[in-house]
Structure formats: structure tokens, C-alpha cells
A and B are shown apart, each in its own frame.
Chain A
Amino acid sequence: MSILVNKDTKIIVQGFTGKEGTFHASQCLEYGSQIVGGVTPGKGGQEHLGKPVFNTVSEAVKTTGATVSMIFVPPAFVADAVMEAADAGIELAVIITEGAPVKDMMYAKMYASKKGMSTIGPNCPGIITAEECKIGIMPGNIFKKGNVGLISKSGTLTYEASHQVVQEGFGITTAVGIGGDPIIGLSYKQLLPMFEADPETEAIVMIGEIGGDLEIQAAEFIKENISKPVVAFIAGQTAPKGKRMGHAGAIISGGSGTAAEKMEALEKAGVKVVVSPADIGKAVKEVLS
């Protein structure tokens, strides 16, 4: 078992024939993901990586029966791509592209939820169900199959966490990189109950960072609804106020959104919070034994 995606998930790629789309789609195919085609307007009818190319998402969905789209289009076209996917009946859009304007994401997410489509990202590594299905840009070999669910705002920190979990002798069910932008799709609050319901997941690792209050919302949710052990790390404990730390959303404004307040809220909710990012694996071992 896993959450959201598995070995049978049918995927299309928007921005299929571009440089990034091509490279990562071929890596996903190599991993075993069921990429059934892609969309590049104007290149419909061609074949790419051995899969059909379509002009529109609706055509791709009708022909292939895909339910998930992996989006690699340039930042200015992300909103258009997300809305097109939503209109075509895609159930989950995984938006890898970095640099989409906030206003665009606001409209895109609004329309996606109207159409009942979930989104992951933007500006994220994607989602992977270990040894079954990789939809994104993460190095697949780092995610060994196991019983830990992973939710993270950061890409490389996701790999770091998974690596530590594996080194302690455990593995991953599904890992979701939710992205660090001000407006993102699925977040802790929506993903936690999925892991709670997944029989194979026995513990959950959540990695957050400064800015916004998603981690605080998660803490409140965990207190009431999550019975499985949760380990958390919040990046940016040493970040100065008012400075953007790489991710568009990683900024402490007016004293709120600090790592300290998030860590405190999570601890109060019964989460095992680690201060050092090197202790994530050890903490998982502790809660599982």
C-alpha cells in the first residue's frame, strides 16, 4: 500500500518534449512509472520516449486514461497547464516547475479545487511511492521500500531524511515533496490523514521550514486526528527575520512563521521534534521500536 500513487497509476507529462521534461520523464520510466504519454502543443501525433505526444491534455486523457499529470512547462505557463489538466479530468497534478507567480497559483488552485483536482507543488521534487512509482525529479535509488511516510517542503532535505531512515534499517512507503512556495497544493493537513489510513505506513516524518503557518495547522490536526507516531524537523532555526531563504515562502515576517513557534506547537501535539537535521533517522528508529 501507499498513498496517492502506485505501480498502476497512469501518468502524462505536460511539457513532455522539453529538456527537463524529457530527462526526468525518461528517469521516471526507468524507475517503472507508468508514463503513458505527454502533451506538447504543436507536436501532437509524434512519438517521444516511445510514448505518444498529444496537442491537448483532454486528448491525452481520452486516449490514454491517465489520471495524473506531471507538469514541467515554463513558469509563465504553469497556471494555464494546471487549469487545462483540471478541465480535462486529471485527478492529481504534480507541478515541478519553479518560479510560477503567486497570483497565477492562486487562480490555478482555485480552479483545480472547483474541478476536484488535487495538486502537489509547485517548485517541488514531486511524489514517489518507493519501488513502484516516481513522479518527479528525486533520485529514486534513495527511496527503499518500507513503513515510513514522508512529507517535506524541501527537496534535498527529503532525500537527506529518506537516506537517514534507510540507513537506520527502515524504508519509505510514499514520500511527498509539497514545495516551499507561498501557495501550494496538498499540504501536511491533507496528507497526514492519508498516511494515517494507509495500513503499511507505521510512522510519519514531516519536514517543515520557516514561513507561513502550515506546520502549526498540522500540529493542531495531529493532536486530534493522528495516532501514528510523527517525527518532525523544522529548517531555518537560525534564519534572520525578513530575509528570504531561497524558497519564495521561506521568510519570517513580523516575528511569525519562526521555527521556534512551529517546533513548540508540534511538540505540544505529541510530535517527536528533532533540533538537529542529523537526528531524523535516529528519531524514526526510536518511535518505531
Chain B
Amino acid sequence: MNIHEYQAKQIFQKYGVPTPRGRVAFSVNEAVEAARELGGDLWVVKAQIHAGGRGLGGGVKLAKSLEEVEEHAKNILGMTLVTHQTGPEGKLVQKVYIEEGADIKSEFYLGMLLDRAAEMPVMMASTEGGMEIEKVAEETPEKIVKVNIDPAIGFQGYHGRELAFGLGLPKEEVGTFIKFAKALYDVYMDNDAELIEINPLIKTGDGKFLALDAKMGFDDNALGRHQDIEDMRDLSEEEPTEVEAKKYGLSYVKLDGNVGCMVNGAGLSMATMDIIKHEGGEPANFLDVGGGANPETVAKGFEIILEDPNVKAIFVNIFGGIVRCDRVANGILEATKMTEVNVPVVVRLDGTNAQEAAEILRNANIENIITAENLADGAKKVVEAAKGE
């Protein structure tokens, strides 16, 4: 789960990770009021959406007067912001963050995530603040300093020194930087974060480090013990169909093709997408119905797949194990009664009791249900069906 910049900064402040002062605003009036409260003569108006690249898309503006704050807030609130991370359809901006202007002397990058190979977190820093870190990693990897932090010992001084000296900081600034990095480590560990990125981390004219931007993602499996973070969830930032699917224990991801897929198991679901492509089709979605595949989940699956108007045919690919195929076949028949399915459905049921299942489907004699012998046969048939052949 991801949160907004202003929410991440609230968490930072609790842990003593310094940020500029700021207020979130949901209307133009609130934006002006926030700027007035903050005082000073320079503000930044920042669109709050779950995507990077907001500045380039016109979602971050500098204001030198309250009138300018008002003008920018008017323009940004309600705009559809398109960045390289939102996709071409963009995202609607519903809130802005008003922040005091900062005196930027230099910009850095500081991030933290799980190093899967080392099986422990890694903190990364770079002098290339403001740049996309993936790009830096590709073009100038020598400009990234990385340090693994073994949670058994926690964040030690030397971790901070490796990063600080790696960034080329003068020795009088090393202590301040280490304090900053240590606090960030605590934010990461205490909150079961999956990713934290501060880009840019700035050094001000008077030698302070401030998190000018903040991005945070969390381990979904750990949200059960972080109600405060779960409360920060902004459903308007999530794909509505994916949210709906989750309620029924289905895992759905929308894609661009026209062949709908309903599969049991994440690996087989991905493999099903792959084989559709291999046979010359394009998958419309990833959908894992889980181990159960009962009538209700299958019916919901059909409903969710068919919400996408591009879908021309559906491939139901279930490998029956403990859940027997004959039961799944009956489930599919039930489901077609519960929800209207108006496209061809190719069904491949293999594994335990596959013969009986094929019999059940044949006897039901439903016009748009096509049975398949195996994985390859099913993929071929569904791609043909989607093409109208």
C-alpha cells in the first residue's frame, strides 16, 4: 500500500526526520489559509497523487504571494495530472500540499528498501538528487552508495559514515546526516515499510538536511498491526476493479488485451497470460481466483472480467488439485446462472477428476462454453474465439 507525500511527512516528523513545514488542503480556500498560517513569503503548491514526476507534469508550483498560491491551487486542484508513472490517462488531483519554500544549497537522493538477495534492508544515497534513481543506477551506478543494514544489529554509526563520506559530505556535516539516516531507518523498520524514497533530500544554506519530497510504500501483509497506516489508505488512488476484486479474495490486475483470464494460483495465472500471448493473443487481465474456485468467486470473477469492454473471450484455466475438477465444473455452471456471460468461454479443467468435469460441461450443453483438452489447446481456442474465428 502506498500513501501520499503529506502523510509520509507526518510519519517522518513523528520520528524526527526533518521536513519543511506544510499543510494539506482540499480546496482553494484551504490552500490560501494554509499558506497564511505557515507565514513567510515563499510557498510550494504540490499536487498530492500516488505517482512520481509531478513537477514535470505541472503539478508542483512555486508561489511568491498568497495570490499566487490561490492561482496555483485553482489550477492544480481538479486537474488530471499526467506523469510518466500515471499512464496516459493521468490521475485526478483532489488535494494539494502547501509547503514553506526552502533555501536549497544542494540536492541528494536517499532511499531504503529490502535487498532481496541479502535478505535485509539496504539504504541507498546518491549525489544525483532530483533524478530518477533507476536512471542513475543504469547510467552512472558509481554515483550510488549502498549499505546493507542487518536488523540484528540495527543502524550503527558506521552505516551512516559510509553513506555520508560516500556522498562526499564535509566532516562537519556528517553527524547531522547520520542522525537523519538513523531516524529514517527507524521509520522503515517500525512501520513495516516496503520502500521509502526521499528525492530530493536537500541541504539548506544553513547546513540542515530536509526531506523535500517523501514517498512511502508498506508491506500489505503487515498492515494488520498498523491501524494508523491502514487509516491513511486513499481508495481513490487505487484501481476500483482491483479494490472490488480484493473484497472477494480475488487478485486482479487489468491489462490492455482482449482475452480475459480466470485461473487458480498466481504462477499459473501469469503462465496463462504468457501462453495467450504465445498463441498470438493479448491477455486482458491477471485474475487469480485462489484455491477455492467456488460458484460465488467464479461468478464474481466473470463479472469483474466483463467490466472491461475490450474482453472478447474468456479463458478459464483451473488445475484441480485438492479442489476436484467436477466441483469446479459445477461451480462454473452455477456462476453462468448467477451472472450473464455474453462472450465465448473456453474452459480447461485438468487434474483430479478432469474426465468427470468434461462430461458435466458437455452435458450442460451451454452454447458459449467451449471445452479444451489441455493448456495449449485452451490457449489456442480462446485466442481464436477472441478473434471471432
Task: Give residues in A with beta carbon < 8 Å to B.
Answer: 27, 75-76, 99-104, 106-107, 109-110, 137-139, 141-142, 152-160, 163, 180, 182-183, 207, 209-210, 212-213, 217, 233, 235-240, 242-250, 254-255, 259, 275-279
Size band of the interface chain B makes with A: 35 or more
Q: Give 19 A-B pairs besides A156-B265, A160-B268, A245-B253 with Cβ atoms closer than 8 angstroms.
A: A101-B222, A101-B225, A102-B194, A109-B119, A139-B352, A142-B321, A152-B267, A154-B267, A156-B264, A156-B267, A156-B319, A182-B114, A209-B266, A245-B266, A245-B286, A247-B266, A250-B266, A254-B137, A278-B376
Interface flags, B42-81, vs A, CB<8A=1, else 0: 0000000000000000000000000000000000000000
Partner of A139, one of B119, B151, B321: B321
Within 8 Å of chain A (Cβ to Cβ): is B143?
no
CA distance A107 to B270 in the complex (A): 30
Which residue of chain B is the closest to A24 with respect to CB atoms?
B322
Q: A106-B119, A163-B351 are in contact. Are A238 and B267 (CB under 8 A)?
A: no
- Is B321 a contact of A138 with CB atoms below 8 Å? yes
Residue of B152, B189, B351 most packed against chain A (CB within 10 A): B351
Which residues of the partner chain A approach B221 to less than 8 Å between Cβ atoms? 75, 99-102, 248
B170 within 8 A of A: no
| 9 residue pairs bridging A and B, Cβ less than 8 Å apart | A99-B221, A103-B189, A106-B114, A153-B267, A155-B267, A156-B321, A159-B321, A160-B271, A233-B271
Contact of B220 among A110, A155, A248, A249 (CB under 8 A): A248
CB distance from A92 to the nearest CB of B (A): 18
B265 and A154 form a contact (CB under 8 A): yes
Partner of B219 from the list A103, A138, A155, A276 (CB cut-off 8 Å) is A103
B255 touches A (CB below 8 Å): yes
With contact pairs A142-B351, A236-B274, A246-B286 given, residues A277 and B116 touching in the complex (Cβ less than 8 Å): no
Known: A235-B270, A240-B255, A247-B267. A277 touches B375 (CB 8 A): yes
C-alpha gap A213/B117 in the complex (Å): 7
Question: Which interface residue of B114, B151, B194, B271 has the most chain A CB atoms within 10 A?
Answer: B271
Say whether B326 faces chain A, with CB atoms less than 8 Å apart.
no
Complex Cα–Cα for A278 and B380 (A): 11
Known interface pairs A139-B322, A238-B274, A254-B137. Does A183 touch B116 (Cβ–Cβ under 8 Å)? yes
* Alpha-carbon gap, A141 to B322, bound state (A): 10
**In chain B, what residue has the closest Cβ to A78?**
B221
Shortest Cβ distance from B318 into A: residue: A156
- Beyond A103-B222, A160-B268, A163-B319, is A255–B352 a contact (Cβ under 8 Å)? no
Contact of B151 with A107 in the complex, beta carbons under 8 Å: yes
Contact with B192, one of A102, A183, A254, A276 (Cβ below 8 angstroms): A102
* CB proximity of A31 to chain B, nearest CB, Å: 12
Judging by beta carbons under 8 Å apart, are B286 and A157 in contact? no
Which residues from B are CB-within-8-Å of A138?
321
Closest-CB distance, A170 to chain B (whole angstroms): 17
Once A137-B322, A138-B321, A141-B352 are accepted as A-B contacts, the answer to whether A157 and B268 lie under 8 Å apart by CB is yes
In angstroms, Cα B271 to Cα A158, docked, is 12
Cβ–Cβ contact A245 & B114, under 8 A? no
Residue of B nearest to A259 (CB): B274
B278 interface hit (Cβ, 8 Å): yes
| B266, closest chain A residue (CB) | A246
Asked if B169 is at the interface (CB within 8 A of a chain A CB), the reply is no
Q: Known A102-B222, A180-B266, A246-B288; judge A238-B273 contact (CB<8 A).
A: yes
List residues of chain B with CB within 8 A of the CB of A235.
Answer: 267-268, 270-271, 274
Partner of B116, one of A142, A182, A237: A182
- Assess the A102–B151 pair: CB atoms within 8 A: no
The closest CB in chain A to the CB of B375 belongs to A278
Which B-chain residue is minimally distant from A139 (CB atoms)? B321
**Chain B nearest CB: distance from A87 CB in Å?**
16
B:207-223 near A, CB below 8 Å: 219-222
Cross-chain contact B265 with A276 (CB below 8 angstroms):
no
Q: Does B10 contact A (CB under 8 A)?
A: no
> Within the complex, which residue of B266, B269, B278, B351 is in contact with A275, where a contact is CB–CB below 8 Å?
B278
In the complex, whether B243 has a CB less than 8 A from a CB of chain A is: no
Closest 5 CB pairs of A and B: A154-B267, A246-B266, A156-B265, A139-B321, A278-B376
A residues within 8 A CB of B375?
160, 277-278
Q: How far is the CA of A243 from the CA of B269 in the complex (A)?
A: 14
- Contacts of B262-299 to chain A: CB distance below 8 A: 263-278, 283, 286, 288
Q: Is the CB of A278 within 8 A of B192?
A: no
For the complex, what is the distance from the CA of A209 to the CA of B288, rounded to whole Å? 15
Q: In chain B, residues 229-282, which have Cβ atoms closer than 8 Å to a Cβ of chain A? A: 251, 253, 255, 263-278
Q: Which residues of A contact B192 (CB under 8 A)?
A: 101-103
A209 CA to B275 CA in the complex, in Å? Answer: 14
Would A27 and B119 be within 8 Å (CB), given that A102-B219, A246-B288 are in contact? no
